Amino acid sequence: MIVLRTPDSRFEALADWPFPPHYVEITDADGTALRLHYVDEGPRDAPVVLLMHGEPSWAYLYRNIIAGLVAKGHRVVAPDLIGFGRSDKPSRREDYTYERHVAWMSDWLTALDLTGVTLFCQDWGGLIGLRLVAAFPERFAAVAVGNTGLPTGTGWTEGFKAWLDFSQNAPVLPVGGIVNMGTARDLTDSEIAAYDAPFPDETFKEGARQFPTLVPTTPEHGSVAENKAAWAVLETFDKPFVTAFSDGDAVTRGGEAIFKARIPGAAGQPHVILTGGHFLQEDSPRPLSPYSTPWFTAFGPDAVRHERRRRPLTALRPGRRLPRRVG
């Protein structure tokens, strides 16, 4: 495995990003060493909140949430998946598989020996994070999910099909522009640049290109059996489980229903529909924060249900601004 590493200079002076880097070295099954980056803020003995990003973002997605959770007395940990952010990036698409991602993050979780964890996960952060919950249920105290799923080969939405087609056929993958197209508000140029920062050129984006093809949308996809086994564990998970989806995501709209129906811990929780697009962390960071803490029942959804929606959304609106190159 040939591994690329984004130069540290790409992450200097990013907008609203004061967090120092932390790293753990994990070893792939083939013996390759991979450096995995994570944010680690707050007292080390405080209750842990784990924030997991998805495609094609990185921990920067949580920049407006981290400090508020630390102020409430939490230790906040936000990793970059392998292939994203400041984490190492294998150079070939075939290096990325669903099961490898789960194994990499399992090794990271156990290396930090995180326990009593409250997980918030979105997009691929859920596809991987929920597998961690199923593999290590004793390490998790509560879970909140937004705009994600744990598919088992039963099909896809039209919104996901549009995203899959775009991701595989665009000659240049405009990462910052993709995040901007998936939000209700327009990101600033500096925010778009921060999402572009991990990818100096197209060779660094193989993980981002591969992710959409790995979603188990058909019975023939890899990881269908593994996800079904994970569901069997989640169907016994009776700790607090909250859904916090958004009202403007064509990819995952309605995806909260299966969690509320099948996971015992979801019963009686303050589930909420937030204002925003696919990247709800950009659109609703303040109301999202309470759903990232262990005390879900202390926060009712009324404060967020009635926020004014700014504009209707589609999956990826081609009229949104594309990012300017960084460097």
CA dihedral 139, 286, 189, 177 (to 10 degrees): 60
Burial category of 59 from C-beta neighbours within 10 Å (exposed 0-12, middle 13-18, buried 19 and up): buried
The residue behind tokens 């989640």 is: 234
Per-residue model confidence (pLDDT) at position 290 = 62
Helix, strand and coil percent figures for the chain, each rounded to 5: 40, 15, 45
How many Cβ atoms sit within 10 Å of the Cβ of residue 256?
23
Residue 13 reports pLDDT greater than 60 = yes
pLDDT 10s digits, 63-121? 999 998 998 889 999 999 999 999 999 999 999 999 999 999 999 999 999 999 999 99
Per-residue model confidence (pLDDT) at position 293 = 59
- List the catalytic residues: 123, 249, 278
Closest CA to 211 of 225, 221, 196: 221
Residue 287 reports pLDDT greater than 80 = no
Residue 6 reports pLDDT greater than 50 = yes
Residue 288 reports pLDDT greater than 50 = yes
Find out whether 146 and 120 touch, Cβ atoms under 8 Å: yes
Residue 248 reports pLDDT greater than 70 = yes
Alpha carbons within 13 angstroms on the beta-carbon side of residue 214 total 24
User: pTM, whole model, 2 decimals?
Assistant: 0.90
Residue 4 reports pLDDT greater than 80 = yes
Share of the chain above pLDDT 90, in %: 80
Tell me the fold of 3-305: Rossmann fold (3.40.50)
Distances in whole angstroms, Cα of residue 1 to Cα of each of 21, 88, 172, 200, 212:
24, 11, 24, 20, 21
| Band (195; pLDDT cuts 50, 70, 90) | very high
